């Protein structure tokens, strides 16, 4: 499809509004919008389907900043996430559903408590997990909330961001924070880069996988794990912190993910003057599985000693 000529600045809609995808028909389509009016260019054509693993539909106008890798400016970030607010949720591991699940693996027991504290993991009152995104300057940028079941898999409901939680959304700082072009403006675990300046950087999609891999492999001074947030989370504006580092990318197990991250590896290598390896492993052999799935599937789930709050 040829790109429409757009004389005004545009970007993908950063609100929760979704449209029916012109290709797969599901209500998972993020429209391309004008930056000044926030109105869609044409929600029946221009935008991107969130189902990048299956649908893969994407069509952008020429001036969309996401289409030009080396010239796209970083997103505008306004208000900061309130550190005081997050302190209310930090810890609480004894009631954290995901932590309680991970406690059942002997292979994670030695390092799990240290890893949880290292990533500043938190807990909502209902047991959901808080995953804070802290940048290379130790600024808290976003807190993702994930609702895990007793089997360690994500539930359909309760997955969002802490600033949208009913106990937080009306706090004074939230209105300014929500004006930012994008909330997840850094890697999960990015704050570890300065703490371990010589460590190899291993990048996966999910914060969950960072926790599992860090606890399982240990050797944290020499190997740190960062989360890109999503399949399309390897954005240029995140790359500055990766300059002159040895980097391993661990895409999820699917042809689309492997192809996309292999292409991203070349861009990172050029931009960051870094050695970048794409670690292609069939994991569990299940489409969409990842390194955490491989680790947990290959190890017996047993009840072990607890992790404190």
In the chain, what are the domain boundaries?
1-67, 83-297
Q: How far apart are the C-alpha atoms of 232 and 295, rounded to whole Å? A: 23
Better-scored residue on pLDDT, 248 or 45: 248
Q: How confident is the model at residue 7 (pLDDT cuts 50, 70, 90)?
A: very low
Q: Tokens 């993908």 appear where? A: 12
User: What would the mean pLDDT of 137-156 be, rounded to a whole number?
Assistant: 90
Listed range (71-75, 77-81, 110-114, 254-258) with the worst mean pLDDT: 71-75
pLDDT tens digits for range 169-178? 899 889 888 8
The Cα-based distances of 208 to 62, 116, 119, 124, 147 in angstroms read 36, 11, 11, 16, 11
pLDDT for the residue 66? 41
pLDDT for the residue 132? 96
pLDDT for the residue 61? 63
Q: How confident is the model at residue 78 (pLDDT cuts 50, 70, 90)?
A: low
| Strand 122-123 with 129-134, pairing | antiparallel
pLDDT tens digits for range 238-249? 988 998 899 999
Contacts with 91 (C-beta within 8 Å, 6 or more apart), sequence order: 121, 122, 123, 309
Q: How far apart are the C-alpha atoms of 44 and 23, rounded to whole Å? A: 10
Residue-averaged pLDDT of the chain: 83
H helices of the chain, in order, are 83-87, 97-102, 106-109, 112-118, 174-177, 192-195, 207-217, 255-272, 291-297
- Quote the Cα angle for 23-28-33, to 5°: 90
pLDDT for the residue 24? 78
Q: Does the pLDDT of residue 64 top 60, yes or no?
A: no
pLDDT above 70 covers a percentage of the chain that reads: 85
Q: How confident is the model at residue 285 (pLDDT cuts 50, 70, 90)?
A: low
Q: Does the pLDDT of residue 305 top 80, yes or no?
A: no
Tokens linked to 179: 């004006």
User: What would the mean pLDDT of 253-273 be, rounded to a whole number?
Assistant: 87
Tokens linked to 264: 């991203």
pLDDT tens digits for range 196-238? 999 999 999 999 999 999 999 999 999 999 999 999 899 888 9
Better-scored residue on pLDDT, 10 or 115: 115
CA 248 to chain CA mean position, Å: 16
Better-scored residue on pLDDT, 107 or 80: 107
CA 259 to chain CA mean position, Å: 18
């Amino acid at each position: 499809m040829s790109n429409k000529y757009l004389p005004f600045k545009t970007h993908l809609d950063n609100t929760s509004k979704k449209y029916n995808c012109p290709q797969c028909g599901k209500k998972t389509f993020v429209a391309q919008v004008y930056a000044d009016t926030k109105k869609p260019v044409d929600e029946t054509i221009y935008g991107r389907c969130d189902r990048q693993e299956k649908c893969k539909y994407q069509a952008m106008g020429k001036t969309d900043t996401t289409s030009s890798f080396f010239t796209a400016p970083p997103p505008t970030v306004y208000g900061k996430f309130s550190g005081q607010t997050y302190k209310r949720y930090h810890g609480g591991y004894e009631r954290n559903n995901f932590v309680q699940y991970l406690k059942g693996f002997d292979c994670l027991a030695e390092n799990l408590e240290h890893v949880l504290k290292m990533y500043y993991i938190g807990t909502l009152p209902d047991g959901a997990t808080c995953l804070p995104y802290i940048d290379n300057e130790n600024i808290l940028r976003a807190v993702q909330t994930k609702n895990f079941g007793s089997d360690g898999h994500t539930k359909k409901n309760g997955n969002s961001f802490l600033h949208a939680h009913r106990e937080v959304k009306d706090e004074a700082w939230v209105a300014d924070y929500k004006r930012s072009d994008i909330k997840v403006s850094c890697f999960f675990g990015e704050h570890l880069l300065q703490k371990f300046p010589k460590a190899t950087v291993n990048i996966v999609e999910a914060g969950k996988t960072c926790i599992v891999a860090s606890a399982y492999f240990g050797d944290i001074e020499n190997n740190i794990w960062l989360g890109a947030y999503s399949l399309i989370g390897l954005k240029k504006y995140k790359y500055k912190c990766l300059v002159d580092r040895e980097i391993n990318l661990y895409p999820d197990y699917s042809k689309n993910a492997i192809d996309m991250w292999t292409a991203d590896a070349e861009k990172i290598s050029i931009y960051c003057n870094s050695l970048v390896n794409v670690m292609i492993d069939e994991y569990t052999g299940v489409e969409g599985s990842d390194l955490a799935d491989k680790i947990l599937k290959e190890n017996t789930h047993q009840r072990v000693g607890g992790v404190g709050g």
